[in-house]
């Protein structure tokens, strides 16, 4: 899987950074893109990426502040004009349906693909077997959520090295062995597939936070995930300002990553007061002092899980 940061600015866009939107490419698991938030200009950012809006099958909205939803009506409309008939499911807090329906109705937008809008409260959104997604309530000026994405354990691979050691040559029967079935080779040997399976790998776990100040649910949302994407609107010195507006600082996000025992922290949703050339290294250092495996996102950054 891969994360693509389409926008990393908080509140308003800057000359070099757009407002929040994150794409999750389910490479190797599904031929789909999931989008998390859709600030103004997100479809323009998508046009500069390697994928198109027609590949997006699900959109998740963390909260209803404009820098997270103002790009949504335009993206939905442009997707229809592309000619795709593939369905799209939109998940968002209560009020997202009214926002979308009103914008599309007033603008006379014509959506001719199946658009399903699911308004949610805290809890499991779906479990489709290979992926489960849950929403956790956070602490912001308005209702805000984070999403925990959990991939099911991956199917075990065959121990090819052991098969080669025993002169079991490659062939169409490898598919049967991978399923744990028993086969008979041309030389008469009986091979039990279950005896040649490697231990199953755990699926990936990912936490994507909406806007929030530190809260109890932060640790539950991020517990032992492979990657935690968390807002860091302000530096440590502006903790009072961050709290005033329901946001987090660099050090607060890093402390959550440490306490939740995550493997990696990616900080995003960074105030426009900060510039990549002059400030980002300092902000990253504040994170890494507490949690060394931290990264600071920038627009069009790609991160493979």
In a 13 Å sphere around the CA of 10, the CA atoms on its Cβ side amount to 24
Q: Do 262 and 207 form a contact (C-beta atoms < 8 A)?
A: yes
- Give the residue among 222, 247, 65 at the shortest CA–CA distance from 139: 247
Residues annotated catalytic, as ranges: 67
Residues ≥6 apart with Cβ < 8 Å to 118: 89, 90, 91, 92, 125
C-alpha to C-alpha distance for 99 and 76, rounded to whole angstroms: 13
Tokens representing 91?
């998940």
Tokens representing 106?
């007033």
249 to each of 3, 5, 20, 107, 295, how far by Cα in Å? Answer: 22, 19, 17, 39, 14
Q: Do 230 and 253 form a contact (C-beta atoms < 8 A)?
A: yes
- Count of H helices and E strands in the chain? 10, 16
C-alpha to C-alpha distance for 114 and 81, rounded to whole angstroms: 14
| Angle, vertex CA 134, rays to CA 303 and CA 228, nearest 5 | 30
- The backbone torsions φ and ψ at residue 46, rounded to the nearest 5 degrees and listed phi first, read -60, -35
Q: Do 245 and 272 form a contact (C-beta atoms < 8 A)?
A: no
Tokens representing 130?
């290979």
Residues ≥6 apart with Cβ < 8 Å to 281: none
Q: How many residues does the chain have?
A: 305
């Amino acid at each position: 899987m891969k994360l693509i940061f389409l926008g990393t600015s908080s509140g308003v866009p800057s000359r070099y950074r757009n407002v929040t939107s994150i794409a999750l490419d389910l490479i190797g698991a599904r031929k789909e893109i999931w989008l998390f938030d859709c600030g103004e200009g997100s479809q323009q950012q998508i046009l500069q990426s390697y994928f198109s809006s027609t590949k997006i099958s699900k959109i998740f909205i963390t909260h209803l502040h404009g820098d997270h939803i103002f790009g949504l009506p335009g993206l939905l409309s442009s997707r229809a004009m592309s000619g795709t008939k593939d369905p799209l499911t939109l998940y968002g807090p209560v009020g997202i349906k009214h926002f979308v329906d009103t914008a599309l109705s007033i603008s006379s937008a014509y959506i001719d693909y199946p658009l399903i809008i699911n308004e949610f409260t805290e809890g499991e959104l779906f479990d489709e077997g290979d992926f489960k997604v849950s929403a956790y309530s956070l602490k912001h000026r308005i209702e805000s959520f984070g999403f925990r994405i959990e991939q099911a354990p991956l199917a075990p691979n065959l121990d090819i090295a052991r098969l080669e050691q025993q002169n079991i040559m490659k062939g169409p029967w490898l598919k049967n062995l991978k399923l744990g079935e028993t086969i008979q080779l041309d030389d008469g040997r009986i091979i039990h597939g279950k005896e040649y399976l490697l231990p199953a790998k755990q699926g990936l776990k990912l936490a994507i936070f909406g806007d929030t100040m530190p809260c109890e649910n932060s640790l539950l949302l991020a517990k032992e995930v492979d990657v935690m994407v968390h807002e860091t609107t302000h530096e440590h010195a502006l903790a009072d300002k961050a709290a005033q507006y329901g946001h987090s600082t660099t050090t607060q996000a890093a402390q959550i990553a440490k306490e939740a025992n995550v493997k990696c922290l990616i900080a995003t949703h960074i105030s426009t007061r900060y510039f990549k050339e002059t400030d980002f290294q300092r902000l990253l250092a504040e994170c890494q002092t507490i949690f060394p495996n931290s990264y600071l996102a920038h627009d069009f950054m790609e991160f493979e899980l």
